[in-house]
């Protein structure tokens, strides 16, 4: 291989990453940085290495920030021309958005709460992407999701409507629409959105997020037994019980069906909450124990908060205090 061909070298390193050859990748990236210097692609590859080899979310985020800065410098310095989109890699920018979202909150911010710094970064990046490729339903979907997580539900729905006009069979759009309706207290409209998503693509029933939202709608309507049934069905979906450490090789192409670690945790916590509301405290405690065992990664504090809530629901204040004390100080 020609060592001066940077694209070929970066492609080779990426292939090694996807094969799980992390030691070789780390060595090559060190040499590559010395000889070639910093680039958006190298920074992105370093972010994958930091996450999949070391499970280091802070290092991953720092490398993603560097990749974004380099690419946005290109966006701002490259004049619009036929060559523009070969220099500015929009697919790469969207992949950075996907990766950043793995480290963003999964629920809308509360009133008075400051916007999460990662959400702010992704929001700014998406505003640039949507201006450059206004016909990308994926970019619009991500922007709508960011607005939802920012608790700007009006803007989120307006952006999502633009996205759905481009593709009215976009099943992820119906799931986000259901989330927006639920956040606004409109459980009937949320249920309708979920059914529309199901009618557009029956595979939506393989999405953990669809089951979580369906259960929340049922719980809002007081149908706890039905919600429990939905959630127990969901924990049998492919990939849901894959432990955090098992998801240790990056995918060549992301899949909508495969369940992320964050979604798996949300599912387990929703199940534990439903079991608690049904006074099935032993089952709820077992669900929390399973979540702690399967997902010891950066989102462990979410599970411990749920564990403390369960202890309080049982009236065990003395048990809740040490659980809360074990939660990291930087958690809001």
pLDDT at 223 over 80: yes
What is the mean predicted confidence (pLDDT) over 201-210? 90
**Residue corresponding to tokens 């966006």:** 75
What is the mean predicted confidence (pLDDT) over 261-268? 91
- Which of 97-111, 152-166, 172-186, 257-271 is the least confident region? 257-271
> What span, in angstroms and rounded, lies between the C-alpha atoms of 252 and 272?
33
Q: What is the pLDDT of residue 320?
A: 86
pLDDT tens for residues 286-308?
Answer: 999 999 998 887 778 899 999 99
Name the percent of the chain lying above pLDDT 90: 56
| 222 or 77, greater pLDDT | 222
pLDDT at 332 over 50: no
What is the mean predicted confidence (pLDDT) over 32-52? 88
Are the beta carbons of 193 and 174 closer than 8 angstroms? yes
Residue 215: other Cβ atoms inside 10 A: 26
pLDDT tens for residues 76-102?
Answer: 888 877 777 777 788 889 999 999 998
What residues contact residue 273 under an 8 Å CB cut-off, 6+ apart?
A: 284, 306, 309
Q: What is the pLDDT of residue 3?
A: 55
Give the pair of three-digit tokens for residue 147. 């607005």
Terminal-residue alpha carbon distance, the chain: 50
Q: What is the pLDDT of residue 226?
A: 98
What is the mean predicted confidence (pLDDT) over 61-74? 93
């Amino acid at each position: 291989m020609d060592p001066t061909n940077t694209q070929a070298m970066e492609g080779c390193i990426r292939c090694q990453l996807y094969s799980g050859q992390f030691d070789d990748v780390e060595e090559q990236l060190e040499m590559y940085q010395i000889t070639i210097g910093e680039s958006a692609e190298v920074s992105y590859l370093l972010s994958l290495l930091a996450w999949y080899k070391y499970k280091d979310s802070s290092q991953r985020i720092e490398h993603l920030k560097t990749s974004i800065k380099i690419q946005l410098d290109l966006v701002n310095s490259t004049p619009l021309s036929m060559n523009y989109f070969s220099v500015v890699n929009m697919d790469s920018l969207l992949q950075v958005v996907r990766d950043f979202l793995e480290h963003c909150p999964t629920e809308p911010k509360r009133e008075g709460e400051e916007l999460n710094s990662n959400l702010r970064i992704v929001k700014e990046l998406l505003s640039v992407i949507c201006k450059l490729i206004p016909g990308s339903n994926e970019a619009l979907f991500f922007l709508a999701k960011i607005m939802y997580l920012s608790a700007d539900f009006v803007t989120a729905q307006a952006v999502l409507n633009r996205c759905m006009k481009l593709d009215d069979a976009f099943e992820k759009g119906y799931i986000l629409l259901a989330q927006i309706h639920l956040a606004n207290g409109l459980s009937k409209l949320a249920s309708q959105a979920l059914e529309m998503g199901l009618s557009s693509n029956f595979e939506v029933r393989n999405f953990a997020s669809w089951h979580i939202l369906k259960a929340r709608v049922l719980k809002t309507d007081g149908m706890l037994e039905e919600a429990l049934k939905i959630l127990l069905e969901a924990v049998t979906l492919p990939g849901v019980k894959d432990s955090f450490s098992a998801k240790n090789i990056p995918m060549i192409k992301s899949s909508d069906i495969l369940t992320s670690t964050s979604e798996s945790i949300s599912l387990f916590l929703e199940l534990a909450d439903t079991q608690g509301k049904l006074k099935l405290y032993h089952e709820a405690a077992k669900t929390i124990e399973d979540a702690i065992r399967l997902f010891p990664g950066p989102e462990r504090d979410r599970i411990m908060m749920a564990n403390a809530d369960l202890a309080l629901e049982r009236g065990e204040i003395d048990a809740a205090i040490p659980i809360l004390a074990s939660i990291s100080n930087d958690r809001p």
